[in-house]
Amino acid sequence: MNVDNRVIAITGGARGLGLAMAERLGSKGARVALLDTHRDTLDKAVASLSERGIQAKGFVVDVSDEASVIEGFAAIKGELGPVSGCVNNAGITDDAMLVKAKEGEIEKRMSLSGWQRVIDVNLTGAFLCGREAATQMIEANHAGVIVNISSISKAGNMGQSNYAAAKAGIHALSVTWGKELARYNIRAATVAPGFVATEMTAAMRPDMLERIKQSVPLKDLGEPCHIAQSVAFVFENDYFTARIIECDGGLRL
Ligand code: NAD
């Protein structure tokens, strides 16, 4: 797909990887709709994109809330036109061990609320936004691309039962949608980043971060632009669907 003048929705687009994707796709002429939870961060992101000559608009949406997603996508369609692309990038972590014990005594367990919140945002959010995006693409009778942002943690990672399950699940959505939606000329694929320098990783303990860097074959964190490049590849390659790009410097968990 040539993204020039196409409307592309990017969830969690106000900062980090989502904003880098908006820059990349916007610099190729896409009109980007950023969906995020706070008006002030959206406004800042839109201003920074506008300075670079990129057409962008911010929409306050909680991707885990069905009504909010339906309303948000309706607003995008009303203000920019039906979407041709959707990047399901919004994501959170809430790490905890399933069960933590010391000398046979249970100290802590992952709470149901901690499990549910991560599943709601990272997995249900992608389902809800993917459903609205595909609906608009089919109704407009134009080609579409949906990119789901997974993670290296999809393979299973200590302390991340909720996140790993959601990130494995989001790739299963890409495979399913790639098969289901091909008849409507809609492609769906996954990009799974490794560890990338964003606010999400800046919140990690420095010694842990250093250990991670040393375990990456390329000996460094990725940059947001590397992930944005992978997302742009999915848009541009018309024979790529139901598959995954692992952009992780060669690291395997
Ligand atoms: P980030 O925390 O910097 O940005 C995430 C954005 O999502 C924020 O702007 C946040 O406000 C938004 N968001 C959170 N909950 C939302 C909701 N309910 N509705 C709408 N927006 C919401 O994170 P990031 O590092 O840019 O990560 C982006 C994606 O990439 C996430 O899905 C993350 O799991 C994935 N990822 C990141 C890394 C990394 O190293 N940074 C690695 C692998 C995967």
193 CA to middle of ligand 1, Å?
11
- Spatial distance between the Cα atoms of 66 and 83, rounded to a whole number of angstroms: 18
Q: What is the Cβ-side half-sphere exposure of residue 109, based on CA atoms within 13 angstroms? A: 5
Q: What is the pLDDT of residue 200?
A: 76
Average per-residue pLDDT for the chain: 97
- Mean pLDDT over 94-104 rounds to 97
92 CA to middle of ligand 1, Å?
6
Show Cβ contacts of residue 247 under 8 Å, excluding neighbours closer than 6 positions. Answer: 191, 192, 193, 194, 222, 226, 227, 229, 230
Task: List the residue whose alpha carbon is closest to atom 16 of ligand 1.
Answer: 90
Is any ligand 1 atom within 6 A of the Cβ of residue 11?
yes
pLDDT more than 90, % of the chain = 96
Show Cβ contacts of residue 96 under 8 Å, excluding neighbours closer than 6 positions. Answer: 108, 109, 110, 111, 114, 159, 161
**Atom from ligand 1 closest to the CA of residue 63:** 19
* Residue 44 confidence (pLDDT) above 80: yes
- Spatial distance between the Cα atoms of 246 and 153, rounded to a whole number of angstroms: 11
Active site residues: 163
Main-chain phi, psi angles of 191, to 5 degrees? -120, 125
Q: Is the pTM of this model over 0.95?
A: yes
- Mean pLDDT over 96-105 rounds to 97
193 — alpha (psi -120 to 50), left (phi > 0) or beta? beta
Q: What is the pLDDT of residue 201?
A: 84
- Spatial distance between the Cα atoms of 40 and 171, rounded to a whole number of angstroms: 31
- Spatial distance between the Cα atoms of 184 and 69, rounded to a whole number of angstroms: 22
* Residue 226 confidence (pLDDT) above 90: yes
Is any ligand 1 atom within 6 A of the Cβ of residue 15?
yes
Note the pLDDT tens digit of each residue in 185-220.
999 999 999 999 998 788 889 999 999 999 999 999
- Mean pLDDT over 136-148 rounds to 98
Helix (H, G, I), strand (E, B) or coil at 196: strand
Is any ligand 1 atom within 6 A of the Cβ of residue 135?
no
**What residues pair up with 196 in beta bridges, in sequence order?**
222
* Helix (H) or strand (E) run with residue 11 in it: strand 7-11
Is any ligand 1 atom within 6 A of the Cβ of residue 174?
no
Q: What is the pLDDT of residue 203?
A: 85
Q: Kind of pairing, strands 85-88 and 144-149?
A: parallel
Q: What is the pLDDT of residue 122?
A: 98
**What residues pair up with 57 in beta bridges, in sequence order?**
33
Note the pLDDT tens digit of each residue in 6-40.
999 999 999 999 999 999 999 999 999 999 999 99
